[in-house]
Amino acid sequence: MTASNEYRFQVNLSGMIQILSNHLYSSPKVFLRELMQNATDAITARKEVEPGYQGEARIELTGTGDQLTMMVEDNGVGLTEADIHEFLAMIGQSSKRGQQALLDGETSFIGRFGIGLLSCFMVSHEIVMLTQSIKGGPSMEWRGKPDGTYTIRQLDTQLSPGTKVYLRCTPDAAHYFETEYVKEALFYYGALLPYPVTLLHDGVQSVVNQDSPIWLTRPELARSCRAEVLAFGERLLGEKFQDFIPLTTATGRTGGIAYVLPHAVNLNAKRSHRVYLKRMLISEKAENILPEWAFFVKCLIWTDELQPTASREHFYENEKLEEVRSELGDALRMGLADMAENQTERLQKLIRLHALSMKALAVQDQAFYAMIHRWLPFETTRGHRELGELIDEGETLYYTGSIDEYRQIHHVASAQSMLVVNAGYIYDKELMAMLPVILNNVQTERIEPDEVSMTFTDVAPAERNQYYDALRLADSALQRFRCRAEVKGFKPSDLPVLFTLSQESSTLRALEKASEESTDLFSSVLGSLSAGINSAGYSTLYLNVNNPIIKRVLTSPDNQMTPIAIEMLYVNALMMGHYAMNKQELEVLNQGIVRFIDWGLRANTDRKGDA
């Protein structure tokens, strides 16, 4: 029996780097972030041992062409030889540590040191690190190559504690080593860092990040430094903002500034907020840190309580994130509530730009709705109006449930100066339905197109009786269109007929239309479906007794003429209502026109014959 041998997987490092650069990180440019992160972690760790210690990071660019080199230095804790072996020689070790640290509640400084350093292979074929640990021991040099080999040696000289990383730029990464680029990138990642970051190039030295403003730690103070906060937002987020709302959470471990976007936003637009974890930029496209409805703001957020994903570009969707999200949402809501009470003009401006956002929020939150309802805009038969104005009219607010319904009735409703709100737009229907719940003295009522008739004047039974024969002829003519006739009086009187259809008959029309166009198989499938709705789906053709022509049609029933006139009025109503007609209806239209021309001509020759 042979003993089984145990082997170890060989991991191809250049393959790993390929994976890192193409899949884990969004772009090679993150190497700088990873280096800054390592520096920050090292400084933070040193501060824990030596409270009050003043950390700093220096970045130096030297050489040109294939000698172009970047050096990143920090005065943090540094690494001992044992640290190097543990964290740089074994890939995956450090991230495992991170997991453990997460369970312990805090991420240790060394966190993901190794994997972060690896990202440098995306821009450099060699990484040299010189380091001196505060724990003492000799200064060390580590040299790594992307093929997975590395060397370690002790230095003869003793360096001061800290770490220096040297990168020699590869030809296709030259762009990432340009001074202006590096300067921008350092600000971008490190604008909020609590220690100075210095860039050295051609003998010129500049501090990339200014002193951190007081409102970074206490967002509630931001209101009193308005201009400064706005300017900061403009520099960091690249937009000229005019308004903002400070964000705070109960623990104080997450805070931020919500800048109100100065332009309207698409509801489907990606929400991108800029989030700093322990003062280092972690994401510029964090979508999940604020509630869905907060699409009218772009936020700067800093936190030290959320867990980043492996790429450090997003956060894990966990309970903590959920808690933070709802607290930030509350802060935003409170900010708006405060405006509603104290600065209505500011709120009005905001609502004009971001009406959809406000409506989305109002649907979810009745108290908020009650607060801001007056300024929400709606489309009505009396033009675009704010809800407050509509309420002041003191009438019942009728609203339609869809744009289609509104289209059907708005002519008639406007002619009768009836106030109808087009609630077919997103959220409007829900808001209209909720309104009486939040305001006691307001009535709203959903109106169906076939209910517009309730504002029509009824025709007295005795009068209706006179039209009995004409109506019977009309009904039988309309039956094949699944439509029935009714006599009413309504404005405007030059409108002879009005066609309305219920939701169901609307579906039926669509079914028939599609069925005519489709394959045999699908037509028969649609047929099975329409059989289910057939019974209820009758539409109505209202004949307007106030109209002189209708009056004539009604008072002189004729077995031959009346059905044709009614059919023509029916297709005319369809055209007026911009309905797409099916084949049968088009035929009626065509034949009808020809027949009327024929009659017209014949009447003409008859008259000539009389003369």
Partner 1 sequence: MKTEMDFEDLMEEAYQLPNGPAKLGFLEEAARVADVNGMVEEAYEARSEIVDAATFCGYPMKALIAFSWQLGKFDQQPELYDEETLLWSYKWILGKMPDFPEISREKIMELLEDFGARFKSYGYSERSYWYYRFRIFMDFGELEESGRSYDKFRTLDRDFMSDCEACEQDEIMRYFMLKGDDEKVLEVAKPILKGRMSCAEIPHLTLSEILMPLYRLGRTEEADKYQVKGYRLIKGENDFVQSFSEQMEYLTLTNPAKGIDVLEETLVLAADHEDAYAKMLYYAKAAPLLRRWTEEKESEGYRMRLPASFPYEGDPGDLLKLADYFAEHAQTVAAKFDQRNGNTHVSSLIAERRI
Provide the binding-site residues for partner 1, judged by CB under 8 A: 266-268, 317, 322, 379, 401-404, 406-407, 410, 422, 424-427, 429, 433, 446, 507, 510-511, 513-515, 517-519, 521-526, 528-529, 531-532, 578-580
Per the CB < 8 A criterion, the answer to whether 491 and 455 are in contact is: no
Q: Give the nearest distance from C-beta 378 to partner 1 in angstroms.
A: 12
What strands, in cross-sheet order, belong to the sheet with 124-132?
150-154, 140-144, 124-132, 162-169, 69-74, 57-62, 197-201, 204-207
Q: Give the nearest distance from C-beta 581 to partner 1 in angstroms.
A: 8
Distances (CA, A) of 236 to 184, 246, 253, 387, 539: 10, 16, 21, 37, 59
Residue type for position 377: P
Select 367 or 529, whichever has its Cβ closest to partner 1.
Answer: 529
Q: Give the nearest distance from C-beta 99 to partner 1 in angstroms.
A: 14
Distance CA 485, CA 479 (A): 9
Select 578 or 607, whichever has its Cβ closest to partner 1.
Answer: 578
Select 82 or 580, whichever has its Cβ closest to partner 1.
Answer: 580
Select 347 or 363, whichever has its Cβ closest to partner 1.
Answer: 363
State the virtual CA torsion across 469, 557, 497, 576 in degrees, nearest 10: 130
Q: What are phi and psi of 457, to 5 degrees?
A: -85, 135
Q: Give the nearest distance from C-beta 392 to partner 1 in angstroms.
A: 23
Select 246 or 401, whichever has its Cβ closest to partner 1.
Answer: 401
Distance CA 33, CA 278 (A): 13
Q: Give the nearest distance from C-beta 527 to partner 1 in angstroms.
A: 10
Select 288 or 546, whichever has its Cβ closest to partner 1.
Answer: 288
- Three-class SS state of 243: coil
Select 222 or 413, whichever has its Cβ closest to partner 1.
Answer: 413
Going 211 to 216 to 221 to 226, the CA torsion angle's sign is positive
| Contacts (Cβ under 8 Å, ≥6 apart) of 427 | 356, 359, 360, 362, 363
Structure tokens at 125: 């074929």
Select 149 or 266, whichever has its Cβ closest to partner 1.
Answer: 266
Q: Give the nearest distance from C-beta 439 to partner 1 in angstroms.
A: 15
Select 69 or 582, whichever has its Cβ closest to partner 1.
Answer: 582
Q: Give the nearest distance from C-beta 514 to partner 1 in angstroms.
A: 4
Q: Give the nearest distance from C-beta 500 to partner 1 in angstroms.
A: 15
Among residues 186, 189, 211, 212, the alpha carbon closest in space to that of 201 is found at 186
Structure tokens at 209: 């990040």
Distances (CA, A) of 338 to 153, 403, 597: 63, 34, 70
Q: Give the nearest distance from C-beta 182 to partner 1 in angstroms.
A: 35
Per the CB < 8 A criterion, the answer to whether 129 and 116 are in contact is: no
